[in-house]
Structure 1
Amino acid sequence: MADSTKTQTAPRRKNMRSAEREKLIVTEAVRFFAECGFEGKTRELAKRMGVSHAVIYKHFESKEALIERVYEHVYLKRWDPNWDSLVLDRSLSLQERLTQFYISYADRVFEYDWVRIFVSSGLKSYGLTERYLGIIRTKIIRPAAMEFRYDCGRADDPSPLTEDELEVFWGLHGAVFYIAIRKYVYGEPLEIDIKQVVARTVRNFFKGITEPGPARP
């Protein structure tokens, strides 16, 4: 049964500064869109906040502008710039680098709001999911694939990365993220140690791509 407090009108917040009100709208919008998806109406959001519908549009010219701010708040602000250099740090093995990255990544993004907004944005074609996956592709997937070439003795290979090479590391990314999907979208009660599961997922991935397959007859 849904929490009845979610549908009640919040008490009005008076005498707030403009910047504080705008920040509050974004904070409330994050949870609202996580619960209702992007099809949720801003009028209902205003009702939950205990303000008039016009208050939201005083700070945001459109629903799309509010969604853009939600994207910045939920996704861009959580990106750790240290991750970029971590993937390229050859003082560690590629397996160690990706293990550290995905443990840190899971710690930051495995949350109800983040996961559900990510899925909702993909279904509603607001372009947020595509933009975020573009960041993952540029900063994680492509560098990891290039580093794997280096490990395989192909550092001087001038040919562009193939989609097959990239897909291998998308597979790893998807395997890690599916843990969050099961918990926050499917509602499975996962009683697991996320760090251990992520580390094992990365370890099994590298075992699979580095061990030779069965001999062909």
Structure 2
Amino acid sequence: MEPEKRKKLLVEKAVEFFSEEGFEAGTRELARRLGVSQPLIYRYFDSKDDLVNEVYRKVYVSQWNDAWTATICDRQLPLRARLLDFYESYSQAIFNRRWMRIFFFAGLRGLDINTRYIGRVGELIIKPICGELRHEIGLSRDMPITDAEMELAWIMHGTMFYQGIREHIYCTARSVDYSLTATCAVDMYLTTAPPIVREIVEKASR
């Protein structure tokens, strides 16, 4: 097998392995599952951390859709419609067993996968939502987005994320209607957040 194809196969198998066993599991067991030698794995990866970084790129970076931010910021549609379109696409991309399990195993292990991903969501999803809400309710975007505004959007986002936890981590829901969840989460955000954001911005601009 060509080296690049073998490396891609090793990453794919590592994704499956870590999503079921967690990151405490070692490369020796991974090699045994694959029917290869441990030294073969380290021929392609300098360390276990290097392999974990490849898993991150495979599961998180490669599934990230740059169009999500564009969807949120496309003012040809009302903000509610944009948010619902975004969450429809987002839920299809991330709410699957291996994505969710790797995310939680990484958090328990103290890896920075979670920090990197949450940082990306904050900058490319949450902050644009906050800016678009300001525009929707006629407020200026000249003032930097505040932590309180970010928190309001995170609450909406967390409502969606929790449904993924119920389905793939707790296994207490055989299937989840993510469209219904998105409708409820978005409508609650667009109902409760505007007066709070107005007060935040008005106080900060005095």
Which of 87, 99, 107 is the matching residue for 1:114? 99
Q: Identity over the aligned pairs, expressed in percent?
A: 38
Q: Structure 2 matches for 1:64-83, cutoff 5 A? A: 64-83=49-68
* CA distance in 1 between partners of 2:175 and 2:38 (Å): 41
Query: What does the per-residue CA deviation read over 1:112-151, in whole Å, with 9 as the maximum and x for residues that have no partner?
Result: 1101111111222221111111110111111111111112
Q: What is the RMSD of the two structures over their aligned residues, measured on CA atoms?
A: 1.6
What amino acid is the match of 1:195? S
Query: What does the per-residue CA deviation read over 1:11-48, in whole Å, with 9 as the maximum and x for residues that have no partner?
Result: xxxxx221221111101100111111111111000000
Which of 79, 87, 94 is the matching residue for 1:94? 79
- Are residues 1:201 and 2:185 paired? yes
What amino acid is the match of 1:190? R
Aligned to 1:34: 19
* CA distance in 2 between partners of 1:48 and 1:127 (Å): 26
CA contact 2:137–2:194 (8 Å) conserved in 1: no
Q: How many residues align?
A: 196
Query: What does the per-residue CA deviation read over 1:72-93, in whole Å, with 9 as the maximum and x for residues that have no partner?
Result: 0000110111112111111111
- Are residues 1:147 and 2:147 paired? no
Structure 1, unaligned stretches of length 5 or more? 1-15, 213-217
* CA distance in 1 between partners of 2:34 and 2:60 (Å): 23
How far does residue 167 in structure 1 lie from its aligned partner after superposition?
Answer: 0.2
Aligned to 1:133: 118
Query: What does the per-residue CA deviation read over 1:156-202, in whole Å, with 9 as the maximum and x for residues that have no partner?
Result: x5322211111000111111011001111111133343323323332
* CA distance in 1 between partners of 2:175 and 2:127 (Å): 33
- Are residues 1:84 and 2:69 paired? yes
Aligned to 2:44: 59
What amino acid is the match of 1:104? S
> TM-score normalised to the size of structure 2?
0.89
Decide which structure has greater helix share.
Answer: 2
What amino acid is the match of 1:188? T
Aligned to 1:23: 8
* CA distance in 1 between partners of 2:155 and 2:173 (Å): 24
How far does residue 206 in structure 1 lie from its aligned partner after superposition?
Answer: 2.1
SS where residue 75 of structure 1 aligns? helix
Which of 163, 179, 182 is the matching residue for 1:179? 163
Stretch moving more, 65-74 or 190-199: 190-199
What amino acid is the match of 2:33? R
* CA distance in 2 between partners of 1:180 and 1:119 (Å): 11
* CA distance in 2 between partners of 1:179 and 1:48 (Å): 32
Structure exhibiting the larger radius of gyration computed from Cα positions: 1
